Amino acid sequence: MITDAPRIITSRFDNADSYTLAGYEATGGYQALRKALAMGPAAVADEVKTATLLGRGGAGFPAGVKWGLAPENVWPRYLVVNGDESEPGTYKDRLLMERDPHQLIEGVLLACYAIGCGQAFLYVRGEMAHAQERIAAALNDAYAAGYVGKNILGSDFSVDVVLTWGAGAYIVGEETALIESLEGNRGMPRLKPPYFPAAKGLYMQPTIVNNVETLSNLPWIVNNGGEAFAALGAETSRGTRMFAVSGHVKNPGVFEVEYGVTTFRDLIYAPQYAGGILDDRALKAYIPGGASAPWFFEEHLDLPLEKVTVDRAGSMLGSGAVVVMDETTDAVKACLRVVRFFARESCGKCAPCREGTTWLEKILQRIQDGYGRPSDLDLLMDVSDNISPGIAWPPKQTTICPLGPSAVSPIASALQRFRPEFEARIAQAEEARHSVPVNITKASSHG
Amino acid sequence: MARLTNDNVELAREIIGRYPRPKSALIPLLHLAQEQDGHLTDDAMAHIGELVGVSSAEVLGTASFYEMFKMEPVGRYMVNICTNISCQLRGGEELLEHAEKTLGIRPGQTTADGLFTLEDVECIAACTEAPCLQVNYRYEHRISNEGFDQLVNDLRAGRRTDIPSHGVLAEVRQHIPDERRAGVVTPEDKAAPVWIPAAGEGER
């Protein structure tokens, strides 16, 4: 269902001066901060809880609950903003950082105020030079205007927001890896327990790690109330959400839609969104939530963009990345490309992932190159099973973090649905092998 | 090769001063060194180790994990072409092939004139603008073969003054004015923030 829900986080995207302090203030900017300072920190946290805002980074954990996981009376607490957007197909956090940096900064301030963080680190992906520039400029302006820093707007609330950045590593999107990176280390996920950085995170202190889109929602929630936010959407998915629709569609784009009620069909086919498949070809498959998500097909089109519904159907909304493949797509090639990504980005800490993803890529590459063996499909499943036992959804894992199991998703999906394509490729290879006359020359004897 | 210049040491000290632990400044400082020299030199890494108080081996240990840090000289322009799924579906691999022909190099190589290094990279978050690429981490969206050749010609002719040489990331830096600074919060600062009501307050 397509609704006329308000645009909460992209409301300024059409304004030429959306990224400036003047442009932000002229459109209600920093009013939520003033309101929050009058409400008190507990009331702000309550509004976020009432809103039932799910994290927009990938896991979809409720933000209010996450904040509540910080142990009571343990100080200091830190806020870390995850702006390391790099899940293939995902394009939204970069837009939010480039086009509305003050909205994000205000969200950071609201979170710090409610949680009790005296310092926040805004970690932007290394490759996003423009986003870094926009945030640096916005922070400099916000400091000068008294919105950030010491005694904000004359209150007793003080927080430094520090812009920091990475240097190219997908794994740093995993929150404990991000914390390692922020401590100046190799960005490898930490062994659990402790399960949540909220208990022990940066410098082993309570640390809340929130995604850019998640925090960008906070000014609206504080201004309009948690109930107004929760009135949008459905079931366990409230408010609105940004979805990037890419691949074989007429009008690839990033759309903010009402969460929980808009369907995949709306998003892919509606003229105001992606506008249908390129050249009106048939749909082959689509990835509903970033490269880590199992693929969906025609029969899933009428599912709403609702977290629990999509989870139950065997995939996830993940990072809001819908990648559309039309009937001309080569399933082997597409599967190989996604698996190759995980093989390249495996941090190397856990053997099943480090070795497994590498082998999965090699096997798929040889199938793609025409050197596949009849036993390769079973081998793919066997290696997959060693990374993610049972190859089920939600995935089990023999690894510290979900990167390894993510490489299994495209294989399970493609083999289940398009197995004949893989078999045909292997049969061709077999035929080629057997049609080549084997010329056995007598080995020269070195005696 | 070069240690950090005096100006950059000053900048490095300012950056280190924002973090509760000096080592947290490592990645930003490595970017600063790469901005100065175009790649990471052993001397610069040793110098950074001195500044943050860790060994040069630890600096290298961190640096070598991250794709963007180059231990060898690279071209003035790093051309990163995305071939991940969204771009693959819209011609990213064909664009890479075209780029290889135009530049006469394979991914990972640098042109003889030292101008271009080509890389086949993972998703750069411009999926709806596929196929896409970055030159020194500046985006080019929906780029055609002709568009690519034009870009290369413009770069060769020095017409793309908006793209600084490799190593330069954000051209705007954060600066926290002293009078507005809230101050670093270290793990040793165990007091509750002043704006948080003491525990139990309101319940009694």
- The per-residue pLDDT for A374 is 94
Residue B79 pLDDT more than 90? yes
Instruction: Give the pLDDT of chain A (447 residues) as one tens digit per residue.
Output: 999 999 999 999 999 999 999 999 999 999 999 999 999 999 999 999 999 999 999 888 999 999 999 999 999 999 999 999 999 999 999 999 999 999 999 999 999 999 999 999 999 999 999 999 999 999 999 999 999 999 999 999 999 999 999 999 999 999 999 999 999 999 999 999 998 999 999 999 999 999 999 999 999 999 999 999 999 999 889 999 999 999 999 999 999 999 999 999 999 999 999 999 999 999 999 999 999 999 999 999 999 999 999 999 999 999 999 999 999 999 999 999 999 999 999 999 999 999 999 999 999 999 999 999 999 999 999 999 999 999 999 999 999 999 999 999 999 999 999 999 999 999 999 888 888 776 666 655 554
Give the span between the Cα atoms of A226 and A381, in whole angstroms. 45
- Nearest residue of A to residue B171 by CA position? A133
> Residue A184 and residue B25: Cβ atoms within 8 Å?
yes
CB-CB contact of A156 with A115 (8 Å): no
**Residue A7 token pair:** 């645009």
DSSP calls for A394-425: SPP-SSSSTHHHHHHHHHHHHHHHHHHHHHHH
Ramachandran region, residue A6 (left: φ > 0; alpha: ψ -120 to 50; beta: rest): beta
Burial of residue A223, with CB atoms counted within 10 A of its CB: 0-12 exposed, 13-18 middle, 19 or more buried: middle
- Nearest residue of B to residue A172 by CA position? B66
Q: Mean pLDDT over residues B31-47, rounded?
A: 98
Q: Mean pLDDT over residues B101-122, rounded?
A: 98
- The per-residue pLDDT for A446 is 54
State whether residue B78 sits within 8 Å of chain A by CB: no
Partners of residue A325 on adjacent β-strands:
A285
> Residue B125 and residue A128: Cβ atoms within 8 Å?
yes
B19, B61, B122 ranked by CB distance to A344: nearest: B122
CA distances from A264 to A24, A208, A383, A409, B1 (A): 32, 31, 32, 19, 55
Give the span between the Cα atoms of B137 and A221, in whole angstroms. 34
- The per-residue pLDDT for B202 is 44
Buried b (16+ CB within 10 A) or exposed e, A184-197: bbbbbbbeeeeebb
The model's pTM: 0.96
> Quick one: how far is CA A163 from the chain centroid?
20
Q: A65: how many CB neighbours lie within 10 A of its CB?
A: 15
Give the span between the Cα atoms of A186 and A200, in whole angstroms. 18
Give the span between the Cα atoms of B163 and A124, in whole angstroms. 20
Window 127-166 of B: residues touching A by CB (8 A cutoff) are 127-130, 134, 136-139
- The per-residue pLDDT for A442 is 62
Give the span between the Cα atoms of A403 and A194, in whole angstroms. 19
Q: In terms of DSSP H, where are the helices of A81-173?
A: 93-99, 101-115, 129-144
Query: For residues A13, A14, A20 and A21, what is the CA-based torsion angle, rounded to 10 degrees?
Result: -80
Q: What is the CA radius of gyration of chain A?
A: 24
- Show residues of chain B in contact with A76, CB under 8 Å: 185-187, 189-190, 193
